[in-house]
Amino acid sequence: MSQPEGKIFVKPAKEKVLVRNPERSRHLKVEGEWVVKNVYWFRRIKDGDVVELKGADLKNKMKEISDTKAKAKKEAVAKAKESANKTTNSVKNQE
């Protein structure tokens, strides 16, 4: 994944520390996210609240996020199929 123009990928330096994302009025995701490159985030980096991922670390994190999403999607599809099969079998048993 290429870096979006004018953005950096940051994640909280510690999992238990919540870091506010003022652009979205919520906390930064634990796994990290792309944010606008600005003074706010440079200050968070300098203060040690977040870390910026670059190069191989960023590539590995993007793969990890992608793999997690793919696994979740696969599990959701399997669960939906299982549910559909139970419904079909239930209808057949009622006939």
DSSP 5-47: TTEEEEEESSTT---EETTTTEEPPTT-EEEE-SHHHHHHHHH
- Residue 90 banded pLDDT, cuts 50, 70, 90: low
Which pLDDT does position 1 carry in this prediction? 55
Q: Are 1 and 37 in a shared domain? A: yes
Is pLDDT above 70 for 37? yes
Q: Are 71 and 49 in a shared domain? A: no
What range defines the domain where residue 89 resides? 62-95
Q: Are 46 and 77 in a shared domain? A: no
The pTM (predicted TM-score) of the whole model is: 0.67
Owner of token pair 């985030």:
41
